[in-house]
Amino acid sequence: MVKRGRHRSTDKEGARAIARIEKVPGVKAVIIGQSIGGKSIGAGAERVGFRVQRPEPGGCKAVIKTSRGVQEAFIRIEPGEVDRVIAALRSLR
């Protein structure tokens, strides 16, 4: 289930990345945040995908990368499953 804040959306590539994240057992929801548009996301950077940044209470922060820029996200995780889910997300690529 994608939850969107006010005036927040993602493109098709971001939606596909979110769908992959949501399939991981233990993920309750993906809440998308601020979008930072533009094609300058770093020389040689992977153009599409996501990266887990850090654990937070109730889940983890992540960045979803698309050809149009990057999007912040918060991944809500079942209690007690944070370490296992983060490890699974990092292995998805």
Query: For residue 7, is pLDDT > 50?
Result: no
> For the stretch 24-40, what's the b/e string if a residue is b when 16 or more beta carbons lie within 10 angstroms of its beta carbon?
bebbbebbbbebeeeee
The pLDDT score that the predictor gives to residue 67 is 76
Asked which of 20-29, 52-61, 65-74 is least confident by mean pLDDT, the reply is 65-74
Please name the residue ranges forming H helices in the chain: 12-22, 82-92
The pLDDT score that the predictor gives to residue 22 is 93
Query: For residue 12, is pLDDT > 60?
Result: yes
Number of domains in the chain: 1
User: Which residues constitute the domain of residue 15?
Assistant: 2-92
- Predicted model pTM: 0.78
pLDDT tens-place string over residues 18-47:
899 999 999 999 998 887 776 555 555 555
